[in-house]
Amino acid sequence: MPNLTDWRRDQLLEPQTEEDEIRLRAYELYEQRGRQPGRALEDWLIAEREIKALHGWVPPLIGAA
């Protein structure tokens, strides 16, 4: 039987919104780079693009009405 700490960690790591998914993916990217600081925005933008693509979100064309 999992202990309370395991349950809480699972609940905290289970994304509830698209923003949660992006946040978790950005953190994964940070960890994959060896936790080097200074690239949080880059990690966020990469994660945002990946998650939106995963869900089939397509950005509108520039200038489209």
Distances, alpha carbon 14 to alpha carbons 7, 21, 25, 36, 37, in Å: 11, 8, 12, 24, 24
Domain-located, residue 49: yes
Domain-located, residue 65: no
Model pLDDT, residue 56 = 86
- Domain boundaries, position 49: 14-54
Model pLDDT, residue 15 = 73
Model pLDDT, residue 1 = 45
Domain-located, residue 5: no
Domain-located, residue 41: yes
Model pLDDT, residue 16 = 80
Query: Is the pTM here over 0.85, yes or no?
Result: no
pLDDT digit of tens for each residue in the chain (65 aa)? Answer: 444 455 455 555 677 888 999 999 999 999 999 999 999 999 999 999 999 988 887 665 666 55
| Total domain count, the chain | 1
Domain-located, residue 27: yes
Domain-located, residue 64: no
